[in-house]
Amino acid sequence: MKPRKLIVFIAQAITVGLALAFLITLFWPGILQRQGSVEVREVTENSAGTASGPVSYAAGVDRAAPAVVNINTAKVVTVQPNPLFNDPIFRQFFGRDLNSPRKRVETSLGSGVIFSDQGYILTNHHVISGADAIQVFLRDGRSAPAKVIGSDPETDLAVLKIDLKNLPTITLGHSERVRVGDVVLAIGNPYGVGQTVTMGIVSATGRSALGINTFENFIQTDAAINPGNSGGALVDAYGNLIGINTVIFSQSGGSVGIGFAIPTSLAKGVMEQIIQYGRPLRGWLGIEAQTLTPELLEAFGLKKGTEGLVITTLYRNGPAHKAGVEPGDVLVAIDNKKATDAREVLLTISAHKPGDHIKLELLRDGKPLTVDAVAAERPATRPRH
């Protein structure tokens, strides 16, 4: 073959090969991948998180901060004298007045959130508990004495009222839509230094079984929350209220990045009932239960795998007792929902109003039983019989 023809032939072969490779790559890309190769997904300009986040949260703060107030409380306490002052010798030399009880005023600080232009403020129960006088200070410099409308120790919430005009109010967000990783801002009065804003993210939602309150459904955040922040606002990046700051986990008393807020989905309902009735109205059946364990299954002669809660405590003449429930019964469902967690059952019962009918599906001696109990109002204290 002549050199010229050879060169033409080689050029044609290369062209055909490249064309074939292009077609294979276009229509069958997997054929050319080497065995053991790894596909990775790289970020694109459209999916980059930095492209959508705000540079500043000042607009959200401007929207929410005017409705966050500082709360100062005062309480008169009686101080008992030292028992040594009862000694006749002390009384002879230092006078009889040493043996008299003395009174002093204790003050504390907290925060609150204005919910209504009528002057209703939501804060924590522990902020105002036992206070003889409460003074509220607004961001605009105004102040006013506050009246306690009602409080709820079981959720650590309280409602105050002040008489001022042209009050700023908070905008409620949807706490049930909050996701882990969302940016949040905590606004309050830490250590009495004045209104302060800190930033963090939502670390967790639905925190419960912490032993803090009877009813727990906390939003956890790493936004700095310190003493004085209690009762203040936890807002989203746009200034919408999603929670009431309540408590921190700390050995030193300062923030370590584990704070908890009561979600607005819970706080709003409690506030509305306090305003309407002076207290929250919750259903109560007069039972206590615990989760079935393998040992309890064996003790009650139940089949392995049986799910439910065993009734360990029954209040005499309570709604459940009147409906025919007995100690040792196994609660397998309530209102047609499986009963596997005692706290969830408590929340389900409490969500009912007094007078509501609650369906209980039980096992007694291994046999199914259904009873209809009429909820009573959950008492503040429940003496056992």
Q: For residue 322, what are the contacts with CB-CB under 8 A and spacing of at least 6? A: 373, 374
Q: Which residue's structure tokens are 């959950």? A: 378
Q: Which residue's structure tokens are 């043996």? A: 99
Residue pair 143/152 in contact (Cβ under 8 Å)? The answer is no
Question: Residue 289 carries which side chain, given as an amino acid letter?
Answer: A
Enter the DSSP assignment of 327: T
Residue 21: count of CB within 10 angstroms of its CB: 11
Q: Three-state DSSP class for 191?
A: helix
Q: Which two tokens stand for residue 20?
A: 């074939």
Q: What number of CA atoms fall less than 13 Å from residue 236's CA on the CB side?
A: 19
Q: Cα-flanking dihedrals φ and ψ of residue 324, to 5°?
A: 110, 5
Q: Rounded to whole angstroms, how far apart are CA atoms 206 and 224?
A: 19
Residue pair 123/113 in contact (Cβ under 8 Å)? The answer is yes
Residue pair 136/146 in contact (Cβ under 8 Å)? The answer is yes
Q: Which residue's structure tokens are 């508990």? A: 129
Q: Rounded to whole angstroms, how far apart are CA atoms 178 and 236?
A: 9
Q: Which residues are catalytic?
A: 126, 156, 230
In terms of DSSP H, where are the helices of the chain?
3-27, 58-64, 88-94, 125-128, 264-277, 294-299, 319-323, 342-351
Question: Whats the size of the chain, residue-wise?
Answer: 385
Task: Find, among 166, 155, 175, 382, the residue nearest to 285 by Cα.
Answer: 382
Q: Which residue's structure tokens are 């999916």? A: 47
- DSSP string covering 73-87: EEEEEEEPPPGGGGS
Q: Rounded to whole angstroms, how far apart are CA atoms 333 and 360?
A: 6
Q: Three-state DSSP class for 310?
A: strand
Residue pair 246/262 in contact (Cβ under 8 Å)? The answer is yes
